[in-house]
């Protein structure tokens, strides 16, 4: 009987249905149970033969579509008992899924490939590829514990089979996880593994591995010994350039830029990020393109380039959402809320920061759970929700203490400032003392800026005006040497407020006026209205009542426009009821 007649008989019996005419005739079983019964009725050797025949036919008929057909081909050759071909196609299916950023699919394919690999002799390079790609897919889906187990399995296999290249690859991969700001960050373990890997790399003469190990060491010293971190980064960079390893070059550039930011070398950071960005685009690595743009956002913010920061953040967010990358989505929002805060768009600032924290929890990304959460606490303090703000800063501090101690300074400094707002001056002083006990001399250069601002506000609250003036002068001197424009108006206002409270009205006019000019240049409504309000008080003392009234009208207009951006009625009321805002609104 002809094939056409057999199919017609099956169709008449209601066992199969026509699924498609084009590009070829295609039939499907009407029910899965019928398909299963037909399949199980075949002898095992017949099934294997049919699977092999189908697999070979697909290879022959569609040679240009093997990547797309790889999962199907892998299935057929696995069922046919052809482990070598099955391994090839499971690996190809995993690689293809990774190229599309379909990490769950990639993990499934690599898992199958690794199971088959136990029955097939493989080269060291093949094993390294499988384990590292599988681990990378697990990392991108925040399954770090599973990735670590995979790398440990590779390390044990390498040690048992006397293959030092496998052992080295696994050590480096493990150290990379321990040097990444996730819940598994472990500086001591990361350093120990890196030193072990470095000795092994030197023994076997693996320069590529050495470049990657130095990159890990740079990350492990970030925020603690920034000079040392930069030194490691430059050494990794030199090796990557020597090897023309574009992938490692891009990774090292990307993170070396963060060291430059922490070391207040913003222009160097900008150039480094731009070079890394070009490489990531050439390599078509979308997750890292987004990461690069989010880091560039920090440079723009510190430089007062708020519109540029919004643009790079938006592009990072768009890319991350297009590939469903939670880490990138969280990072794109981590610092951009500061721009909305400067612009006085408080609800948008809160929404952006809360989204960053929520996404970071899902992605296992620690930095927003400390830094962004701390800043969010400061925003709630501005809205009169001081206890809520303190609670957020305390959560951030607990996370830093547990998982990423170099970032403790941020929640501590914000806790101190919120305690001052709440009138808890003794608590604020104790918190500042904890900040001062941190060894930041070789870490973030912005650490003392945050702490000095809190110290100045504490002195002002205690009416220690000369001390507040001295701290403000020291802070301004520091800021003039470093690039952190968003905090410059705060330092100027600290000095102006202390001078005015101390009766030095004329001397207060200069820093207050400078704060106003800078706030206007930055379009920072957050900083502008307090400067206008203080200038109004200065003009009042000078006897210029009309000018004082005009300045207060400008300040009130800005305050009212900020209040309009606050969606929640209770938060809007809280903002309008804060002492400084209430004092402005009640003046005539």
Q: What is the pTM of this model?
A: 0.88
Contact 527, 489 (CB under 8 A): yes
* Residue 256 pLDDT exceeds 90: yes
Express each pLDDT in 279-305 by its tens digit: 999 999 999 999 999 999 999 999 999
With cut-offs at 50, 70 and 90, classify the pLDDT of residue 441.
very low
Q: What is the largest CA-CA distance in the chain?
A: 111
Q: What is the mean pLDDT of residues 369-380?
A: 96
- The rounded distance, in Å, linking the Cα atoms of 333 and 346 is 15
Instruction: Express each pLDDT in 147-167 by its tens digit.
Output: 999 999 999 999 999 999 999
Within 8 A by CB and 6+ apart from 13, the residues are none
User: How confident is residue 263, by pLDDT bands cut at 50, 70 and 90?
Assistant: confident
pLDDT band for 31, please (50, 70, 90 cuts): low
Structure tokens at 510: 């200069």
Cis peptide before 584 (omega within 30 of 0): no
Q: Any idea what DSSP says for residue 20?
A: E
pLDDT given at position 454: 95
Task: Report the distance separating Cα 174 and Cα 212, nearest Å.
Answer: 12
Q: Name residue 20's beta-bridge partners.
A: 26
CB–CB of 35/29 below 8 Å? yes
Choose among 222, 208, 220: nearest CA to 257. 222
Question: Check: CATH 1.25.40.10 for 147-284?
Answer: yes
CA distances from 365 to 124, 185, 354 (A): 32, 10, 14
Is 34's pLDDT higher than 70?
no
Q: Rounded to whole angstroms, how far apart are CA atoms 162 and 165?
A: 9
- Give the other-Cβ count within 10 Å of 580's Cβ: 13
Residue 46: per-residue pLDDT = 61
| Over residues 513-518, mean pLDDT | 97
- 473-499 pLDDT per residue, tens: 999 998 887 778 899 999 999 999 999
Reported confidence tier of residue 135, pLDDT bands at 50, 70, 90: very high
pLDDT of residue 54: 73
pLDDT of residue 11: 58
Residue 588 has pLDDT above 70, yes or no: no
Percent of the chain with pLDDT over 90: 74
The pLDDT tens digits for 223-236 are 888 889 999 999 99
pLDDT at 442: 47
pLDDT exceeds cutoff 80 at 51? no
Q: In terms of C-beta density within 10 A (0-12 exposed, 13-18 middle, 19 or more buried), how is residue 215 classed?
A: buried
Residue 160 backbone dihedrals phi, psi, to 5 degrees: -65, -30
Phi-psi region of 22 (alpha: psi -120 to 50; beta: other; left: phi over 0): beta
Q: What is the mean pLDDT of the chain?
A: 90
Angle ∠(77,83,84) on CA atoms, nearest 5: 100
- Mean pLDDT to the nearest integer, 131-143: 93
Please state the domain extents for the chain: 1-41, 147-284
Q: What is the token pair recorded at 14?
A: 């209601």
CA torsion sign, 526 to 531 to 534 to 540?
A: negative
Tell me: pLDDT of 3 over 70.
Answer: no
pLDDT band at 584 (very low <50, low <70, confident <90, very high): very high
| Local confidence band at 12 (pLDDT 50, 70, 90 cut-offs) | low
**Structure confidence at residue 587 as a pLDDT band (50, 70, 90):** confident
pLDDT at 69 over 80: yes
> Residues 27, 7: contact at Cβ < 8 Å?
yes
Confidence of residue 9 (pLDDT cuts 50, 70, 90): low
Closest CA to 201 of 212, 190, 192, 186: 212
Distance CA 41, CA 23 (A): 30
335-374 burial: b if 16+ Cβ within 10 Å, else e: bbbbbbbbbbbbbbbbebbebbbebbbebbbbbbbbbbbb
The first and second tokens of residue 385, run together, are 């929700």
Distances (CA, A) of 203 to 216, 217, 277: 19, 18, 34
CA nearest to 489, candidates 444, 443, 535, 447: 535
- State mean pLDDT over 176-197: 94
How many CB atoms sit inside 10 A of residue 382's CB? Answer: 22
- pLDDT tens track for 100-113: 889 999 999 999 99
Please check whether residue 451 is in contact with residue 413, taking contact to mean a CB–CB distance below 8 angstroms: yes
Give the lowest-confidence range in 1-15, 357-371, 451-465. Answer: 1-15
pLDDT score of 357? 98
């Amino acid at each position: 009987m002809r094939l056409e007649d057999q199919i017609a008989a099956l169709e008449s019996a209601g066992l199969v249905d026509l699924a498609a005419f084009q590009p070829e005739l295609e039939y499907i079983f009407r029910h899965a149970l019928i398909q299963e019964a037909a399949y199980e009725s075949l002898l095992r050797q017949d099934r294997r033969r049919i699977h092999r025949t189908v697999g070979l036919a697909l290879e022959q008929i569609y040679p240009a579509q093997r990547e797309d057909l790889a999962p199907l081909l892998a299935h057929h050759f696995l069922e046919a008992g052809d482990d070598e071909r099955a391994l090839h196609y499971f690996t190809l299916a995993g690689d293809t899924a990774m190229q599309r950023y379909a990490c769950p699919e990639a993990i499934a394919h690599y898992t199958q490939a690794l199971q088959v690999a136990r029955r097939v002799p493989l080269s060291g390079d093949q094993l390294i590829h499988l384990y590292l790609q599988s681990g990378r897919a697990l990392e991108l889906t925040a399954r770090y514990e599973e990735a670590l187990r995979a790398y440990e399995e590779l390390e044990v296999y390498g040690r048992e089979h006397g293959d030092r290249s496998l052992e080295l690859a696994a050590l480096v991969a493990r150290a990379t996880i321990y040097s990444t700001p996730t819940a598994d960050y472990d500086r001591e373990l990361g350093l120990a593994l890196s030193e072990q890997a470095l000795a092994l790399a030197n023994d076997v003469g693996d320069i590529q591995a050495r470049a990657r190990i130095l990159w890990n060491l740079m990350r492990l010293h970030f925020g603690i010994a920034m000079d040392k971190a930069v030194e490691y980064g430059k050494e990794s960079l030199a090796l990557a350039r020597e090897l023309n390893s574009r992938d490692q070059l891009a990774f090292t550039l990307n993170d070396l830029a963060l060291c430059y930011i922490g070391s207040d070398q913003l222009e160097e950071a900008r150039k480094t990020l731009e070079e890394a960005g070009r490489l990531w685009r050439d390599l078509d690595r979308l997750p890292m393109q987004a990461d690069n743009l989010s880091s560039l956002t920090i440079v723009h913010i510190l430089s007062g380039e708020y519109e540029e920061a919004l643009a790079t953040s938006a592009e990072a967010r768009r890319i991350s959402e297009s590939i469903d990358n939670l880490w990138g989505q969280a990072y794109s929002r981590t610092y951009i809320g500061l721009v909305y805060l400067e612009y006085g768009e408080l609800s948008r600032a809160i929404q952006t920061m809360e989204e960053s924290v929520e996404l970071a929890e899902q992605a296992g990304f620690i930095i927003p759970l400390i830094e962004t959460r701390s800043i969010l606490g400061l925003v709630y303090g501005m809205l009169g929700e001081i206890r809520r703000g303190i609670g957020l800063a305390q959560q951030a501090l607990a996370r830093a203490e547990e998982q990423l101690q170099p970032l403790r300074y941020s929640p501590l400094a914000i806790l101190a400032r919120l305690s001052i707002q709440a009138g808890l001056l003794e608590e604020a002083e104790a918190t500042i003392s904890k900040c001062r006990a941190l060894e930041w001399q070789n870490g973030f250069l912005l650490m003392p800026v945050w702490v000095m601002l809190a110290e100045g506000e504490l002195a002002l609250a205690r009416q220690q005006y000369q001390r507040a003036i001295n701290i403000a002068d020291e802070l301004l001197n520091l800021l003039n040497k470093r690039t952190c424009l968003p905090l410059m108006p705060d330092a100027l206002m600290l000095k102006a407020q202390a001078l005015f409270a101390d009766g030095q009205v004329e001397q207060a006019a200069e820093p207050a006026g400078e704060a106003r000019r800078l706030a206007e240049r930055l379009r920072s409504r957050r900083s502008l209205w307090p400067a206008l309000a203080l200038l109004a008080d200065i003009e009042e003392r000078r006897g210029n009542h009309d000018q004082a009234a005009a300045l207060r009208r400008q300040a009130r207009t800005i305050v009212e426009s900020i209040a309009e951006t606050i969606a929640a009625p209770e938060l809007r009321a809280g903002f309008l009821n804060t002492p400084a805002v209430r004092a402005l609104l009640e003046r005539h």
